[in-house]
Amino acid sequence: MTTKEKYKKVAYYPGCALEGSGHSYNRSTKAVGKALGLDLVEVKNWNCCGAMEVKNVDPKLQTYLSSRVMSVAANEMDMDVVMAPCNGCYHNLKKAEYDLANDAESVEVVGKLSKKAGHKTYESGQVETIHALDWIKEAIGEDGLRERVKNSLSGIKIANYYGCMYTRPRHIFPEKDQGPGSESTSKPHFMDDLLAAAGAENVDFPLKTACCGGAHTLSDSDTSTKLVLNILKTAKMAGADVIATECPTCHSGLEMHQIRAEKTLGEKVDIKILYFTQLLGMALGLKPRKVGVHENISDSMRFLKEKGLA
């Protein structure tokens, strides 16, 4: 079976952010999948991936939590690909995969906890974890997307912001940096490729993977606001109308601190923030509401109307 065929039907792991602050990402991912004829089967009774909080307290417990999600997909649903659109979930599942392939202690802890929880222990290699970017890039590809575009994103200049967890640390993403066609950890381009195929003009954005202070957005808001403000200003300076995101933490952080920067620092940066799936969905002819634009914190409707997308 080719990768293209394999990715047509994947186990979908939305994670907690996509059921809360990142609901529009959930909505738009599902809508894009449907519009592209791709099958998403939600992981049954999924649990937290361990996120940042559990990893902070006990990294092995995080490995177990992520492994359980993969175990359910592999052993209870007979799926061999898990697609996680959230960068945090994606990162943690990849980390668990790495741990279980390379660390005997992790294997032991996961074995014990899985037995205690009463489910089959996940074994490294049972599933492949991918991001929503990999999913669309491989299952549909740029040519396939180009053929399906109904409302071109032409005339929209986009700064693609990947955030940190999609590429770091490099060693948990062995499939990246494998030459032409593969994703790059230093200059990621999959989102650029997909949005360009939908007609958008990508700007040269030097802070694609720069820190937005996401994990400290509440505990140290001032640092996060300054980091986000610099990202917004840099994107604007690069000529972008929109920052495209692929991580709910980054997305919420950019939106919230865009407002906070105006309130606390008196600096307003007029740039729209949209999930790449929202942009792709509209390019595929879906209405803004269908891809959850109304659920974003910032209001992009006027801009989208001007661009003929709403």
CA 136/CA 10 separation, integer angstroms: 11
Smallest gap from Cβ 95 to other proteins, in A, equals: 6
Q: Which two tokens stand for residue 46?
A: 């999924």
CB 63 within 8 A of CB 109: yes
Smallest gap from Cβ 203 to other proteins, in A, equals: 11
Smallest gap from Cβ 98 to other proteins, in A, equals: 8
Smallest gap from Cβ 230 to other proteins, in A, equals: 5
Question: Taking CB under 8 A as the rule, does residue 62 contact other proteins?
Answer: yes
The secondary structure of residue 55, as a DSSP letter, is H
Task: Pick the piece of the chain touching other proteins (CB under 8 A) from 25-33, 41-49, 162-170, 284-292.
Answer: 162-170
CA 224/CA 227 separation, integer angstroms: 5
Q: What character string, x for contact with other proteins (CB under 8 A) and - otherwise, covers 210-249? A: xx-xxxx--xx--x--xx--xx-xx--xx----------x
Of 30, 95, 131, 272, the one binding other proteins by CB under 8 A: 95
Smallest gap from Cβ 276 to other proteins, in A, equals: 19
Closer residue to other proteins (CB): 168 or 302: 168
Q: What character string, x for contact with other proteins (CB under 8 A) and - otherwise, covers 163-182? A: xxx--xx--x----------
Closer residue to other proteins (CB): 77 or 238: 238
Query: What's the CA angle centered on 218, arms 170 and 261, to 5 degrees?
Result: 95
CA 73/CA 50 separation, integer angstroms: 17
Smallest gap from Cβ 56 to other proteins, in A, equals: 5
CA 288/CA 180 separation, integer angstroms: 34
Q: Which two tokens stand for residue 168?
A: 């770091």
CA 254, 260, 263, 267 dihedral sign is negative
CB 205 within 8 A of CB 247: no
Which element (helix H / strand E) includes 41? Answer: strand 39-42
Instruction: List C-alpha distances in Å: 79 to 71, 73, 75, 292, 301.
Output: 10, 5, 8, 28, 38
Question: Taking CB under 8 A as the rule, does residue 59 contact other proteins?
Answer: yes
Question: Taking CB under 8 A as the rule, does residue 47 contact other proteins?
Answer: no
**Contact footprint for other proteins (CB under 8 A):** 52, 55-62, 88, 91, 95, 98-99, 103, 105-106, 109, 112-113, 115-116, 163-165, 168-169, 172, 186-187, 206-211, 213-216, 219-220, 223, 226-227, 230-231, 233-234, 237-238, 249
